[in-house]
Structures are given as structure tokens and as C-alpha cells.
Amino acid sequence: MSDAWWTGPMLANSAETLPPGHFLFEPYVYDVRRSHTDTFGSNSYILYGLVDRLSIGMIPVIGYNKVSHGPNSSSVGIGDWTLQAQYRLTEFQQGSWMPTTAILLQETLPTGRYDQLGSRPGNGLGSGIYTTTIWLNSQMYFWLPNGRILRTRFNVSRSFSRSASVKGVSVYDTDEGFNGRVKPGNGFFADLAFEYSLTQRWVLAMDFTYSHSDNTRLAGVDMVDPNGVPYPQDVRLNSGPSTSFGVAPAIEYNWSPRIGVLLGTRVIFGGHNSTGSVTPAVAVNYVY
């Protein structure tokens, strides 16, 4: 096992938990490139081994939107932050076919701005929604004929979103006169990742992802003013379900078993009712 050191691939969660009293800190810096918009951001995994088999932590997010056809964000802002707890079910042992497995529970908090954005819709960095996500994570090691180690991860998750009120200009493309509610659809996500240890320090990684979201419903009243006299107009919108696929090639370099750096790019292919994006990112993984 000591023949290879790892940071982990760009996207897939680890099924491991930290020993009691140990920390993991992994900050990411990225640029989500979509048509007409660049979202520069950072999210950091801050995890702590609470007791044997149980790690807890949080994922703070900050960001800044650069918009080609409109004003940019007025400043760097806070996105939606996530709290999490992971319990390890099984532990891989060399020579066994039993992978490491774990249950991960996450709660995403609506800490980022999402409505009442006025003349700066670029300030919208959140969703306004409380979302609960349940993951099943797994991790396995394979010794290849050349003696190098291939590590695999497979994660699946199901997310459940609540509804939220929406007023004025928002991330849901509403205008200044809107007042209503939004209910995002629940989601499913799967990630299959591979890490090949070229040497003890250098690792090649690849994620393959699939995402599906149910219909998002937006309902409310919009005050329209075509002739100088405002009047209410009912709004009922359904996005329909959406699907997308993605890949995330990356390369890892590890100075030691405790610290390493990852450089990679996530590519989301626009699918049904979804928009494609390209996200270069760099991350540092440190365990203490």
C-alpha cells in the first residue's frame, strides 16, 4: 500500500474516514466556464475524525461571476455551504475483494444570495434551497501485472430539495416584479473514478459522471407594466427533467503521504435540458 501516495481524484468522494483527532483540509480553486459566464470560485473540504469510523466536516464556498452581457458580481460572495458526516461501514484489506464502503450524509445550507439581486444578477451565488443528500461511497485497490496500484472509487447519491420563496431578480431568471416560490427537483448522481499510480508520487486520475435532476417548478405572480399601468400576471413554469454526463481528467503529485496537489479539468457535456461547462481546477490535499 505504501508504494503509492494519493490526493484523490477531482470529483469522487473517499469512502475512508479519518482516525479520531485527525484533520483533512483540501481547498479547491476553479473557474466554471459556461456560455457568457465565468464563475471563479473556491470550495474547501474541512474534515475531522470525531470517533472511530465517523468523520464530520463542512464545505465552505465562495465565488465571483464574470458576465459577458451584463454587470459582473459586485464583489466576491458566499455560496451555499454544506455540512456533512460520514460513517464507514467496511474497510478494505489487502488480498480481500471487500471494498471500503461508507454512508455520507450532507446538508446544504442556503447561505448564498439568490434573489432580490436588483441590477446585478451576477451577485447570485446560491440557490435559496435546503438540500439533503445521501451518498453511498466505495473504494477499492487493484495490483496490476506491472506491480503498480489502480485505485477505484464509485459513488452514488440521491438529493432531496425543499422549496423557497423568490422575490425580484433571481438565479431562476425572474424579473424585478416577481413574487412566488420555487421547488427544484430531486437529483441523482453517480461517479466512477480511477487513479493509476505511475510512481509513488505521480498519479493519473479520471472521473466519469452521470447526473439527473427532476422537474423544477416555479410559481408566483409577476407585476407586468406594458403600458405604464402595472397589473399581476400568474406565472407557472416547469423546467422538465434534465440529464448530463461528464469527465474529469487530472494529474496528482504527492510530496508525502500527508500532502499532495491535484490539477484537473471537469467537462460537463450538455444533455437534455442542461448546459455544458468546462472547469479547470487546482487543489491541495493535506492530512494532519
Model confidence band, residue 35 (pLDDT cutoffs 50, 70, 90): confident
Average pLDDT of the segment spanning 60-73: 94
Q: State the pLDDT at residue 134.
A: 98
**Which pLDDT does position 230 carry in this prediction?**
76
Q: How confident is the model at residue 1 (pLDDT cuts 50, 70, 90)?
A: confident
Kindly state the average pLDDT of the residues 265-280: 91
pLDDT of 226 > 70? The answer is no
Cα distances from 89 to residues 63, 137, 159, 171, in angstroms, run 35, 10, 21, 39
**Stronger pLDDT, 177 or 87, i.e. the higher one:** 87
Going from N- to C-terminal start, the domains of the chain cover 110-263
| CA distances in angstroms from 57 to 5, 32, 63, 260, 268, listed in the order given | 23, 24, 20, 20, 27
Note whether 12 and 155 are within 8 A (CB).
yes
Task: Name the average pLDDT for the chain.
Answer: 95
Supply the pTM of this predicted model: 0.93
The answer to whether 26 and 284 are in contact (CB under 8 A) is yes
Which cell is 7 given? 490526493
For every residue of 42-70, DSSP letters joined together read EEEEEEEEEETTEEEEEE-EEEEEEETTS
The whole-number pLDDT of residue 36 equals 87
What is the Cα–Cα distance from 12 to 138, expressed in whole angstroms? 10
Each residue's pLDDT tens digit, 67-99 = 988 899 999 999 999 999 999 999 999 888 999
123 by DSSP, 3-state: which? Answer: helix
The least confident of 132-136, 150-154, 259-263, 273-277 is: 273-277
Interval 147-157: pLDDT, tens:
999 999 999 99
| pLDDT value at 224 more than 90 | no
pLDDT number for residue 228: 66
Which of the pair, 231 or 262, is modelled with greater confidence?
A: 262
